[in-house]
Amino acid sequence: MIQHIASWPVLIPMLSAILLLMPPCGKSIPIRRAVSMIMSLLTSIISLVLLVYVYQNGPIVYAIGGWQAPFGIVLVADLLSVLLVALTSFLALSVALYSSVGDDEKGSFFHPLLHFLVLGVNGAFLTGDLFNLFVFFEVLLIASYSLLMHAGDKHKTRAALQYVILNLIGSSVFLIALGILYGVLGTLNIADMSQKVSMLQGDDVFLAKIGGLLLLVVFALKGALLPLHLWLPNTYASAMPVVAALFAIMTKVGVYAMLRVYTVIFGENAGLLNHMAQPFLWGLAIATIAIGAIGVLAAQDLRKLTANLVVVSVGTLVALVAIQHVSATAALLYYLVHSTLICAALFLIADLISHQRGKVADRLAPGRGVGQPILLGACFIIAALAVVGMPPLSGFIGKIWILKTTLGSERALVFWPVYLIASFALLVALSRAGTSLFWERKHQDRDHLEVDNAKPLQVIAVIGLLACSPLMVIFAGPITEYMIAAATQLHDISSGINTVLKGGL
Amino acid sequence: MELLYASCVGVLVTCGIYLLLRARTFPVVLGLTMLSYAVNLFLFSAGRLTINKAVVLGTGADYADPLPQALVLTAIVIGFAMTAFVVILAIRGRADLGNDHVDGHLVKSNNKEQK
């Protein structure tokens, strides 16, 4: 019975999305909001239970419909996937809370789409089959297309059109890659593929290499890696901030897919295709950090700045994927959790600030002061310190850990300068942003103007996200232990294969 | 048969990519459709092209690989839904932005053509 829990993080969002479309929730706004919040809370609790269970009892392999691993589709709940599932569910809960004071009524079907997106993301993290990964990608993409158009206007339509077309091309490339890999390997189960890829010989090696690198193109597009990152700043800045906060997890799906495919399938045991994507990943990641930092410096408003921060974090994460070492992967996981939560919080803070500054909104220009300078200022400075990586917040530990894992190899010669200069650029850009948002004012008496105060639910959501940063420092011991265990499990490929192929339910 | 099949896929991909690179939404949508047809054919051939093989029923020893067929079916359904979505979005874009350029504004030479 307890084994079935592996499928719940996928099933519960699906159930709640359907419930939210049914009559009592479809008609009345308060009921819809209440159901959405309760179901998000339920998803989070289930994810946490799953995380604790997997941490204590080892990975769960859930064979859907009782079809065993290489033939049927399996869900694999190992330490890595349950961590990301828990992160997604928590982020969705914060977004559901934040949106429930008005943002959700600016368009239709916000809450059902939110749950469909969680269904797609959780499914993508849990699945043990590449074709199933494609299907979950499409589920989360179609939900994201509609969410992007939520409360639509001209800018959103243009951004959405480009985003949709790019992702449709990406899906076609994904399918071609899957076709090639299936033709060569005769399987699409990740564990089975990693077993068979080492036995390839002759021309098949080159075919598999083409397939693997086409997959890299797709994941780079989803994760916004350098030449394919151009869609991200525009899309995230034109989406509603609450939607953009939810999208903070979506680039991480691309990073997760890279981590899984290039560690397990084309990793250490891949025979002739050993660490095939590493050189590409490393160079592109460094370039992504640099271009993201330039974007942060050039940004004219807080939302675009945050969108570029997402690009920087993707670059950092992919650089760690390229190193392919247990300690690098552990640092990656810590940094991934931290950066997702903080970037989401920054999008929400940008929304609060822009509501209180009237026409200037979140542009970095002198204007009306914010209505609640102490609350928003404190939130902003915590988020900024965390994202730049200053002590005493979680960004600092993440940064030190990342720098430590690269130390001692010739990689440090490239990575350290780029990463540290980028951090400095972030520091400069965020202090400038804070100064102009909070201190530069036109002389206007703001008492005569209506101030759109932050609602309690919004404040709870933002503080909930921000509180994770100090918590990740206070509980750094157990958390790092978990990350190291998850990374070790991912890199222990042969025992991973054994669990999946023989341990089916 | 292999040559004919491969050139079909190749021609479809070429046309698809050419159309994708156009700047108007209608050719782009057509290009996407062609590309997804090519992808479906390609996926189907991943299980190797064979003639006169049985479906996977009963206990026959010689049968066609059923998995690519399942994959193609899924890909067709998803491709259909996505195409429908992008068509609606293109129409919405035409209405919101006043033209069907993917960037939302016309280049000067295009303006002259229209006149």
ipTM of the shown complex: 0.89
- Strands of A359-455, DSSP E: none
CB-based contact A50:A59 (threshold 8 Å): no
Q: Which residue in the set B20, B28, B92 is minimally distant from A157, CB to CB?
A: B92
Asked, as a colleague might, if the bond just before A373 is cis with ω within 30 of 0, I would say: no
What's chain A's length in residues? 505
Please state which of the ranges A109-123, A226-240, A416-430 shows the lowest mean pLDDT. A226-240
**What's the mean pLDDT in A460-464?**
92
Look at the domain B2-114 and name its fold.
Helix Hairpins (1.10.287)
Q: Which residue in the set B20, B78, B93 is minimally distant from A158, CB to CB?
A: B93
- Strands of A258-385, DSSP E: none
Q: In this predicted model, what pLDDT tens digit does every residue of A17-57 receive, in sequence order?
A: 999 988 887 778 888 899 999 999 999 999 999 999 999 98
For A312-323, b/e burial (b = at least 16 CB within 10 A) is bbbbbbbbbbbb
Give the single-character DSSP code of A465.
Answer: H
Q: Which of A190, A227, A191, A185 is nearest to A207 (CA)?
A: A185
Band the pLDDT of A450: cuts 50, 70, 90: low
What's chain B's length in residues? 115
For A227-259, b/e burial (b = at least 16 CB within 10 A) is ebbebbbbbbbbbbbbbbbbbbbbbbbbbbbbb
The answer to whether A179 contacts B39, with C-beta atoms less than 8 Å apart, is yes
Among B9, B30, B43, pick the best mutation site for testing chain A contact (most A Cβ within 10 A): B43
The answer to whether A164 contacts B25, with C-beta atoms less than 8 Å apart, is no
**What's the mean pLDDT in B5-34?**
92
Q: Which of A254, A249, A39 is nearest to A134 (CA)?
A: A254
A171 interaction partners in chain B (CB closer than 8 Å): 78-79, 82
CA nearest A73 in B: which residue? B67
Distance CA A275, CA B110 (A): 48
Give A176→chain B minimum CA distance, Å: 6
Fill in the amino acid letter for A395. Answer: G
Among A154, A165, A174, A181, pick the best mutation site for testing chain B contact (most B Cβ within 10 A): A165
Q: Which residue in the set B28, B39, B46 is minimally distant from A182, CB to CB?
A: B46
Residue A484, pLDDT > 90, answer: yes
Distance CA A278, CA A262 (A): 8
Task: Count chain A–chain B contacts defined by CB atoms under 8 A.
Answer: 88
What is the three-class DSSP state of A63? strand
| Tokens standing for residue B55 | 């479906």
With 0-12 / 13-18 / 19 or more C-beta atoms within 10 angstroms meaning exposed / middle / buried, residue A374 is: exposed
Q: Which residue in the set B35, B36, B81 is minimally distant from A142, CB to CB?
A: B81
Give B115→chain A minimum CA distance, Å: 24
B89 interaction partners in chain A (CB closer than 8 Å): 145, 149, 157, 160-161, 164
Question: What pLDDT was estimated at residue B113?
Answer: 46
Is the Cα dihedral A372, A377, A380, A386 positive or negative? negative
Question: What pLDDT was estimated at residue A383?
Answer: 92
Phi-psi bin for A299: left (phi > 0), alpha (psi -120 to 50), beta? beta
Give A149→chain B minimum CA distance, Å: 9
Distance CA A90, CA A100 (A): 16
CB-based contact A310:A245 (threshold 8 Å): no
Give B62→chain A minimum CA distance, Å: 17
With 0-12 / 13-18 / 19 or more C-beta atoms within 10 angstroms meaning exposed / middle / buried, residue A91 is: buried
Distance CA A423, CA A425 (A): 5
CB-based contact A288:A261 (threshold 8 Å): no
Single pTM value for the model: 0.92
What is the three-class DSSP state of A363? strand
Specify which of A92-96, A202-206, A238-242 reaches the highest per-range mean pLDDT. Answer: A92-96
Band the pLDDT of A1: cuts 50, 70, 90: low
The answer to whether A175 contacts B86, with C-beta atoms less than 8 Å apart, is no
Could you tell me where the DSSP H helices lie in B21-103?
A: 25-45, 66-97
Beta-bridge partners for A77? A60
CB-based contact A182:B67 (threshold 8 Å): yes
Q: In this predicted model, what pLDDT tens digit does every residue of A103-125 receive, in sequence order?
A: 888 888 899 999 999 999 999 99
To the nearest whole number, what is the mean pLDDT of chain A? 88
